[in-house]
Amino acid sequence: MPAHRSSALDKRKLVVCASADLTDRQHRIIPLRYKNEPHTAIVLRHRGQVFAYVNQCVHMVRRLDCMHDAIFDPQHEHLRCSMHGIVYDPATGESLSVLCSGERLEPLRSMETDGQVYIVDKRVKDPT
């Protein structure tokens, strides 16, 4: 019987959490290397789907959670930068604020399989 070979996708899977640990309107912030630089990612579930973004506001080079741990607005409907209040659509990363109209958060490829949530973006590496 041939040995199991890891695919390119398997090799770049960065585990976020168990699927059951990421319920709707929840998020995880995870450290990673994005384009060979240290960053964090926001991974969230919104309306049953998983989305991942580089944790960086389009208005200023700051983490969305730089002032407070929360990344959702008080109604848990939109992502919100804790510094200047720029608001984003959680499903597209598009800015809903006039100040940054037309801009969007940098999406990261993610997937959910076998009861786990992963980031599988080619530009991302484990932070270690």
In the predicted model, what is the mean pLDDT of the chain?
90
The domain locations on the chain are 12-125
Q: Is the pLDDT of residue 56 over 70?
A: yes
Write down the pTM of the prediction: 0.89
Burial readout 25-35 (b: 16 or more C-beta within 10 A, e: otherwise): eebbbbebebe
Largest CA distance in the chain: 60
Asked whether the beta carbons of 49 and 91 are under 8 A apart, the reply is: yes
| pLDDT single digits (tens) 91-120 | 999 999 998 999 999 999 999 999 999 999
- Domain covering 12-125, topology: Rieske Iron-sulfur Protein (2.102.10)
Percent of the chain, pLDDT > 90? 70
